[in-house]
Amino acid sequence: MTPTGERRPSAILLVSCVDRPGLVAELAGFVFSNGGNILAADQHSEPDNGMFFLRLVWDTSGFALDRSATAAALGQLARRSGLTWSLRYSDERERVAVLVSRTPQCLYDLMLADQVDELGGTVTVVISNHDDLRPVAGHFGIPYHHVPSGGAMRDGAEQRMTELLAEHRVDLVVLARYMQVLSPAFVDRWLARMINIHHSFLPAFVGAQAYRQARDRGVKMIGATAHYVTNDLDQGPIVEQDVVRVSHRDTVDDLVRKGRELERTVLTRAVRYHLERRVLISGNRTVVFT
């Protein structure tokens, strides 16, 4: 994470646990009794699996506890109550790596959002299995690393990428039309911290030929899906989706063009939700507090 110069940082607490009475009161009480003003509170109880999810944001300006004391107190509370929690402050920005291949649209969109400070984090490195998009990263002043991959090179490539991600202290990996399949080990390491954009309204049209399949099936809308990457191809928890209307007039090329607009919009939105800490994972689904 990268510190920022923000004056009145807020604390953002995410909690998940087995649902039971008193959770909201307990956590809101913790904040209030220490002098914090709650700016946002969102909760959700999943009837399907009995889980409880909470996002609590408070202004820390008059808060009685400093950050380490807050962490210690929450740790105690969590042990006592069986909570899984994570806390981040708005002046700590997550560091993002963007992995790309040759298509630039999603990369531009993430960079532009970052530039006007609307991404909720900071793009710190771009990695690609091609050299094509180096000028794009350069234009935005972001380091670019060409790490060839594919076939026998994959293991070496992933090792190199792992070093780069460590070097740049990356918190979130974004696959912005990165056209290589990653190894199970690599995926596991970034579970719940790696977001991919798929060029269809999943679960329709799994795999690489989604636009071709959409054309062949004759659908009247196409979609894009941003999801966390798991080792089940295109099956990870969905963060965001959107669609656009198409017709018999649209060739596969037209679908590709219309899809590009969707892909970047959906991906940037999903990345922002993650970085603003609005997303909790519930089994193979997500809770997104928008």
Give me the residues that bind a copy of itself (CB under 8 A), please.
20-26, 28-29, 31-33, 35-48, 62, 104-105, 108, 112, 115, 118, 135, 139, 201-205, 215-221, 223, 237-243, 245, 247-249, 251, 257, 261, 265, 282, 284-288, 290
Which residue's structure tokens are 């234009």? 139
Contact 43, 24 (CB under 8 A): yes
Alpha-carbon distances, residue 106 vs 34, 243, 268 (angstroms):
43, 16, 8
Q: Rounded to the nearest whole angstrom, what is the least distance from the CB of residue 19 to a copy of itself in the complex?
A: 8
**CB-wise, 25 or 152, nearer to a copy of itself?**
25
Q: Rounded to the nearest whole angstrom, what is the least distance from the CB of residue 98 to a copy of itself in the complex?
A: 16
The rounded distance, in Å, linking the Cα atoms of 109 and 88 is 25
Angle at 139 between CA 135 and CA 143, to 5 degrees: 75
**CB-wise, 47 or 82, nearer to a copy of itself?**
47
Element (H, E) at 264: helix 252-275
Element (H, E) at 38: strand 37-46
Q: Which of 42, 234, 242, 254 is catalytic?
A: 234
Contact 169, 156 (CB under 8 A): no
Whether 234 is catalytic: yes
**CB-wise, 175 or 287, nearer to a copy of itself?**
287
Q: Rounded to the nearest whole angstrom, what is the least distance from the CB of residue 163 to a copy of itself in the complex?
A: 29
**CB-wise, 104 or 149, nearer to a copy of itself?**
104
Q: Rounded to the nearest whole angstrom, what is the least distance from the CB of residue 103 to a copy of itself in the complex?
A: 9
Which residues are designated catalytic?
234
